[in-house]
Amino acid sequence: MIEIKNVHKSFGDKVILEDISGVMETGKCNLIIGASGSGKTVLTKCMVGLFTPDSGEIFYDGHNMLEMDREERTSLRQQIGMLFQGSALFDSMTVEQNIIFTLDMFSNMSSKDKKKRVNEVLEKVELSGSNNKFPSEISGGMKKRVGIARAIVLNPKYLFCDEPNSGLDPQTSLVIDKLIKSITAEYNITTIVVTHDMNSVMEIGDNIIYLYKGKKEWEGSKDDIIYSKNEKLNDFIFASEFLQGAKAVRMLEAEGKIDKVTDIGKIIDEKDN
């Protein structure tokens, strides 16, 4: 579990994060959502120690990261897997070398064990046999999967995925989402996914924090979203008229004003006539 308390961060006189608190649960996909520029990446960078917050606290299973000494931080860093915004693979290295790079940095495994581990994680992300391909030879979805394989190679307790679906088609996005979800549950990882992808929110959003201009505007689950009356959240999630209509129908269902299947049929019939 990761708990953040009253995190503030500014760059110069520009306030980026204002008093953000929240709990990221173990074994769940915890989402940070919000429009471009709302502070999602800055918040995750504060959480993993790449930025230092101006004030606030960040607890990893009860231990305040901001009070850890160098040794404790290094050991925590080894328990964190990261899938960066844009995959961030080394173009001059093969898939295998990209993954082994992390093992070289943070483990004392023998070459044989490293190769074995690479094959295990490649199998996990359904990329067995792609060891010798270069990033330029594989698709965007495959690159994301290599990024995930690299992020989980050290068996992390905490996994951060920044925009795992950016640039992918909806179906490939769903494959990536389901992969992240199943890995999270299988290894009981505390997973944080940064996204502005509506499909991801509805597919894997166990716990969701919605940032609006650097503040926490709303939090809840994917089911809460359907029935939420928070206007800013609704404008963000249900941006199109089509989705606003779909949400309105769900609300009417929930309030018992229409019956699920028959009345929707009736609405369509009446509209057509």
Q: Is 194 helix (H, G, I), strand (E, B) or coil?
A: strand
Tell me the site size for ligand ATP, rule CB under 6 A: 11
Q: Does 36 bind ligand ATP (CB under 6 A)?
A: yes
Pick the closer one to Mg ion by CB: 41 or 184.
Answer: 41
Pick the closer one to ligand ATP by CB: 18 or 263.
Answer: 18
Q: Does 38 bind ligand ATP (CB under 6 A)?
A: yes
| Contacting ligand ATP within 174-213 (CB under 6 A) | 196
Pick the closer one to Mg ion by CB: 154 or 208.
Answer: 208
Residue 9 CB, nearest approach to ligand ATP (Å): 8
Q: Does 41 bind ligand ATP (CB under 6 A)?
A: yes
Question: Which of the stretches 32-40, 71-79, 184-192, 255-263 binds ligand ATP when contact is defined by CB under 6 A?
Answer: 32-40
Residue 165 CB, nearest approach to Mg ion (Å): 13
**What is 196-223 written as a DSSP string?**
--HHHHHHH-SEEEEEETTEEEEEE-HH
Pick the closer one to ligand ATP by CB: 54 or 263.
Answer: 54
Residue in 16, 122, 149, 159 binding ligand ATP, rule: CB under 6 A: 16
**What is 119-173 written as a DSSP string?**
HHHHHHTT-TT-TT--GGGS-HHHHHHHHHHHHHTT--SEEEEESTTTT--HHHH
Q: Does 41 bind Mg ion (CB under 5 A)?
A: yes
Pick the closer one to ligand ATP by CB: 122 or 214.
Answer: 214
Between strands 29-34 and 207-212, the pairing is parallel
Q: How far is CA 102 from CA 7, 99, 106, 152, in A?
A: 29, 6, 6, 10
Of all residues in the shown chain, the one whose CB is closest to Mg ion is 41
Question: Which of the stretches 33-41, 60-68, 99-107, 140-148 binds ligand ATP when contact is defined by CB under 6 A?
Answer: 33-41
Q: How far is CA 16 from CA 44, 212, 266, in A?
A: 12, 10, 48
Residue in 28, 40, 124, 145 binding ligand ATP, rule: CB under 6 A: 40
d(CA 63, CA 42): 21
For the chain, what is the largest distance between any 2 Cα atoms, rounded to a whole number of angstroms? 73
Pick the closer one to ligand ATP by CB: 131 or 166.
Answer: 166
Per CB under 5 A, residues contacting Mg ion are 41
Per CB under 6 A, residues contacting ligand ATP are 11, 16, 34, 36-42, 196
